[in-house]
Amino acid sequence: MRTRRNFIQKMGLSALGLYTFQGLNASSFSLLKQKAADGPVLRVALMGLGGYATRVAESMQQSGRAKITGLISGTPEKLKTWGAKYNVPEKSRYNYENFDAIRNNPDIDAVYVITPNALHHNQVIRSARAGKHVICEKPMGLNAKEGREMVEACKKAGKKLLVGYRMHFEPLTLEIHRMRTAGELGNIKFFQGLSGFRLGDPTQWRVNKALAGGGALMDIGIYALNGCRYMVGEEPVWVTAQETKTDPVKFKEGVDETITFQLGFPSGVTASCLSSYNMNNLDRFFLNGDKGFAELQPASSYGPIKGRTHKGPLDISSDRPQQAVQMDEMAAIILDDKKPVIPVDGEEGVRDLVLIDAIYKAVKTGGMIKLG
């Protein structure tokens, strides 16, 4: 009997002071303490029933506007177990070969793709062609070319494509974004983003170039990369980058262990970021302006996120999982055409992929890569 890992490997190789609620805007506060407003429920098929899908599925039990109505996996045992746990009938359980048949299933509105990076491109396009909206985990694809093809396929099908940027709905993140937009930090001068952890199992898909498409930058560094863009509020015009590799056995050719990268923005703001599979105690965002600063540490973990500004601590806590908030907000985007404060659409995913391409190019050439 095939395992999910065997199937993924096969597919991958073929695909190659107290600062409290007073500062929060209404949007941030509602995301923190309340379920989404009443409205139609987004019926979601989860694709790829691994570790993160488990977290999403459990969190969705606290979602007011999204529910699991379909399952897609290469492991029959998981389909049976998850089907029983989440009350998904056999007719709404699919494998990777036959999931195109979801086009005939009126109980599924959207597919949430939570598989290794190299599989996203094909699976997103197939889901859109099957007439379903798509939510795709980040990075959306392996490169900007793939990302643009995914966006085009969803547009052609008349379906929305969203990316799993859960931090775009996180209340402290939104509050700092609001402060910067309102001018409370003054003119922004500098951003620092640190993202990384010590990778364990050397056999996992994250260090398989055919499945991951890269290394730490693709997996964890994208938080700092994406974060610098929405925290600064501009798009970079140049990047430089350097790679450090201390374990070439674990991190083979094409799988980056640690990359430091720098970005420049039109206004003169600079950003310095670190992405690593060999360091813990990172996960920090720091935004500095001429009137004040804002810091998150941890900045992108599953919570609780903690922060402070020049006004004092951001003393805010949430009793809702980030993924529950994300799914409620994405249901509103798909079903109600709600516009999020920070974009989560396919075009946003492509912007990150353009920068990832440029960073890898900068590592190889040793020079500055101009953008735009």
Per-residue model confidence as pLDDT tens digits over 144-184: 999 999 999 999 999 999 999 999 999 999 999 999 999 99
Give every CB contact of residue 94 below 8 A, 6+ residues apart in sequence. Answer: 45, 70, 71, 72, 101, 102
Instruction: Assess whether pLDDT exceeds 80 at residue 332.
Output: yes
**Strand pairing partners for 271?**
191, 263
Residues that are catalytic = 138, 223
* Closest listed residue to residue 179, CA positions, set 344, 295, 320, 319: 295
Encoded tokens for 6: 């065997």
Confidence of residue 372 (pLDDT cuts 50, 70, 90): confident
Give the confidence band of 319 by pLDDT, cuts at 50, 70, 90: confident
Q: How far apart, in Å, are the Cα atoms of 88 and each of 85, 95, 132, 136, 315? A: 8, 14, 18, 21, 39
pLDDT in tens, 345-361: 999 999 999 999 999 99
Position 318 confidence tier, pLDDT thresholds 50, 70, 90:
confident
Averaged pLDDT of the chain: 92
pLDDT in tens, 181-216: 999 999 999 999 999 999 999 999 999 999 999 999
pLDDT digits (tens, 9 = 90+) for 256-299: 999 999 999 999 999 999 999 999 999 999 999 999 999 999 99
pLDDT of 13 higher than 70 = no
The pTM of the full predicted model, rounded to 2 decimals, is 0.91
State the average pLDDT over residues 208-227. Answer: 98
133 or 23: which leads in pLDDT: 133
SS (H, E, C) 48-109: CCCHHHHHHHHHHHHCCCEEEEEEECCCHHHHHHHHHHCCCCHHHEECCCCHHHHHHCCCCC
pLDDT over 70 (residue 23)? no
- Domains in the chain (CATH in brackets) are 4-16+33-166 (3.40.50.720), 167-318+346-370 (3.30.360.10)
